[in-house]
Amino acid sequence: MRRILVWTPILFLLFLCQSYLWVPTYEEQTRGNPDRLNEYITASIGDAQILNPILSADSASSEIQGKVFEGLLDRDKDLKFRGRLATDWKIYEKAYFYVNDRVRIPGTTHNHPETLKLCLRQAINDADQYSKPLSNTLSNIRKINIIQPKDYAVSYPFSDDDKKSTPLNLKVSAPARIELLLDTVDQDLFDNLSGILGKDYFADLDPARFISEIPETYQDRLNEIALSILPPTEHNPIILFHLRKGIQFHDGEMFDADDVKFTYEAIMDPKNISPRVSDYEPVKSVDIIDPLTVQIVYKRLFSPAVGTWGMGILPSHRLNDTALKKEAIERGLDPNTFTMRQSRFNRNPIGCGPFKFREWKSDQYIILDRFDNYWEGAPNYHQYTFRIIPDQLTQEMEFYAGTVDSYGVKPHQVDRLKDDPRFQSFSGLSFSYTYIGYNMRKDIFKDRRVRTALGMAIDTEKIIKYVLYDQGERITGPFLKQTDFYNDLVKPLPYDPQQALSLLNEAGYRMSPEGWLVKDGKPLQFTLITNQGNDIRQSILSIVQDSWRKIGVDVRTDVLEWAVFIQERVNKLDFDALVLGWSMGIDPDLYQIWHSSQTGPNQLNFVNFQNEEADRLIVDIRQEYNHDRQVELCHRLHDIIAYEQPYTFMYFSKWTAILDKRIVIKDDDGTIRPIEPTKTGDYTFYFNKWIKLSEVPSFTPEN
């Protein structure tokens, strides 16, 4: 037995070396195929799932979509928004309030709409006489309109929450309304106007008195119904986008405002089950002003609004009702039930990004060709190939041989290769964190003490040191550590197995004679899962299993192929606990991941976190335009999530990358320069300008 244990690794290495020898080197590839210099090949552990930006939610699909599709805007190297399909945009607001005949405006004898308008006009003229906040609000008002009283009928309910109830036909006698056109969004508008109109002007409207013919059985909901129909105040932020002229989709059709409106409507169409709905639910309307101008009107304050329009825009002519009906008939399917999710487009996408789709062979590769008519100029690389190589060791071997140009390099590999003269390496704190998530639908995870105890039984610092080679930083909550939204005052859970046992005892668990924790005759037993192809997550799986078993938790583990892991377990909520990670954006909007409305199948709050205060904070953060106040809200939300421990937050990893030194940036004028990460650590920001030279250039990119 001892001889087998000694020699088996050696035989395995010999096998790997033999395997390595038959992989063609980069020089052999270019000798037989000069075009290899113009082809960029990257390796991924998992295949894409669906190449439609409004339907997908996995990183592999996003990587391809980022090359094929284009949004209205994105962020530049300094994190400022820049135009893409849009050349520029303007953000302003229309705000409304009902004339309140119950409150007399100070300094007036009656409360007629015209009197109210004159009062506001006079205040605007005298703006410099008021406090700075009120003066700023008054100076921001450009136009005042009176909307006359109106009688009308309305069918209620009209919200998703009330769809199962019988609609009510109500009569409304709406009072006059004031419309204010503002130069910029003013979230404090009505608070500040109270300094002129009186502190009770907006609070004392009592909209219920304008609603009639409501059945007796609904009287207890009268105030709720009235407020939804006649809100005393209303903010309608507006974004006016001017679109770039002459943009082509890959099939030659021209991009225009209709495609923007169609993309929004496709997201909101319940048949498509888009995971992006929460980002666009605040939109009231998308209005086409002309073919190159689109106006987005919001129902309420929504501070992340601009950033959501980085979503890849779909070609309406390929996916509208006419196109889908035609495809369904061609394929012999029922056009009445056929949806975008069934369309061939999802495996054969057409966008207007820098690369166009050529071929997808499942679990093998996806090939893209450069789009010569890309509006910003065709990329230097002629072809982009996305290879699926589930085994990380194989990825590394192929990288050495030059058959792939990049792969998900791990910290220990960077450490080994950082001094190799053939390569350039990069690293920095990433926007991605790793966590253990607990499915709180399961009885054993409903108790916060259990979740906290499990976290305290894990020595995360050792994982960072020995598994990540110190390429990571401990975290306590869901915000980016590089931003002030992250609450540095929240301390990580201590590594304390004895305290973990005490918490589990408090939760009712006792140690059995066999050494397992038991409550009411049931062992503390569950399965921890993760995906194949990620050695770090699999190492965490083993370490965590060992740590938990030491305190009497009977935990099993399972490693699943990526597609099965996501589609069958995560999306269908069929798991106990999992090791996974999130790549975060800069904006602190956490609605999709943490709001209680997002806990269904195919949604992102798959651990079923539900907390009323957290829900309120998440909504308030979305509506807060003042940065300092937004930070305060984020810190409180961070506190709540850290206390509840729906995740054991582990670490923000440091991103690591290794490239051949022959890969450089080649500008339009032919200038060659080294690849340098942006302030955010995005070393691929200038990817469209990358090219691989036949020899290492004279300059040496900084490591």
Position 156 confidence tier, pLDDT thresholds 50, 70, 90: confident
* Mean pLDDT of the region 277-296: 96
pLDDT at 438 over 60: yes
DSSP 8-state class, residue 230: S
Q: Give whole-number Cα distances, 330 to 316, 318, 323, 343, 437, in Å.
A: 19, 14, 11, 11, 44
- Out of 371-380, 557-566, 668-677, the most confident range is 371-380
Compute the chain's Rg from CA coordinates.
Answer: 29
Sheet strands side by side (includes 472-474) = 472-474, 647-660, 423-438, 577-583, 525-531, 554-560
In a 3-state reduction of DSSP, which class is residue 518? Answer: strand
Predicted TM-score of the model (pTM): 0.77
Segment holding 627, helix H or strand E: helix 627-644
In tens, the pLDDT along 347-363 reads 999 999 999 999 999 99
The alpha carbon of 680 is separated from its chain's Cα centroid by a whole number of angstroms, namely 17
CA dist 131 and 126 (Å) reads 11
In the 3-class helix/strand/coil scheme, how is 138-150 assigned residue by residue? HHCEEEEEEECCE
In a 3-state reduction of DSSP, which class is residue 616? Answer: helix
In a 3-state reduction of DSSP, which class is residue 427? Answer: strand
How is the chain split into domains, by residue range?
70-84+244-352, 91-237, 429-655
DSSP 8-state class, residue 272: G
pLDDT at 383 over 90: yes
CB 347 within 8 A of CB 56: no
pLDDT at 676 over 80: yes
Task: Report pLDDT for 232.
Answer: 95
DSSP 8-state class, residue 566: I
> Which percentage of the chain shows pLDDT scores above 70?
92
Task: Report pLDDT for 160.
Answer: 46
Position 627 confidence tier, pLDDT thresholds 50, 70, 90: confident
Alpha helix (H) ranges present in 486-590?
Answer: 497-506, 535-550, 562-563
Provide CB contacts within 8 A for 41, sequence distance 6+. Answer: 385, 387, 403, 404, 405, 406
pLDDT at 28 over 60: no
In tens, the pLDDT along 174-194 reads 999 999 999 999 999 999 999
Provide CB contacts within 8 A for 242, sequence distance 6+. Answer: 86, 87, 88, 89, 292, 293
CB 154 within 8 A of CB 170: yes
Length of the chain measured in residues:
703
DSSP 8-state class, residue 564: I
Task: Report pLDDT for 17.
Answer: 40
pLDDT at 47 over 70: yes
Q: Copy the structure tokens of residue 124.
A: 């605007």
More confident: 15 or 250: 250
231 prior amide bond cis, ω within 30: no
Of 8-22, 268-282, 590-604, 649-663, the poorest mean pLDDT is in: 8-22
Report the mean per-residue pLDDT for the chain.
Answer: 90
In a 3-state reduction of DSSP, which class is residue 5? Answer: helix
In tens, the pLDDT along 131-148 reads 999 999 999 999 999 999
Task: Report pLDDT for 27.
Answer: 52
CATH code, residues 429-655: 3.10.105.10
CA dist 343 and 323 (Å) reads 10
In a 3-state reduction of DSSP, which class is residue 269? Answer: coil
CA dist 551 and 509 (Å) reads 11
CB 208 within 8 A of CB 170: no
Task: Report pLDDT for 449.
Answer: 97
70-84+244-352: CATH, from 3.10.620.30, 3.30.460.10, 3.90.76.10, 3.30.450.40: 3.90.76.10
Nearest Cα residue to 633 out of 669, 598, 601, 589? 589
CB 275 within 8 A of CB 603: yes
In tens, the pLDDT along 96-129 reads 999 998 888 877 767 789 989 999 999 999 999 9
Position 13 confidence tier, pLDDT thresholds 50, 70, 90: very low
pLDDT at 448 over 90: yes
pLDDT at 5 over 70: no
Position 165 confidence tier, pLDDT thresholds 50, 70, 90: low
* Number of Cβ atoms within 10 Å of the Cβ of 108: 13
CB 95 within 8 A of CB 141: no
In tens, the pLDDT along 533-590 reads 888 999 999 999 999 999 999 999 999 998 899 989 999 999 999 999 998 878 899 9
Q: Copy the structure tokens of residue 105.
A: 């405006």
Provide CB contacts within 8 A for 589, sequence distance 6+. Answer: 279, 303, 304, 618, 621, 622
CA dist 672 and 227 (Å) reads 62
CA dist 478 and 485 (Å) reads 9
Task: Report pLDDT for 15.
Answer: 38
Query: Helices 497-506 and 448-456: crossing angle, nearest 10°?
Result: 170
* Mean pLDDT of the region 398-423: 83
Task: Report pLDDT for 158.
Answer: 52
Q: Give whole-number Cα distances, 613 to 320, 594, 616, 633, in Å.
A: 40, 12, 5, 11
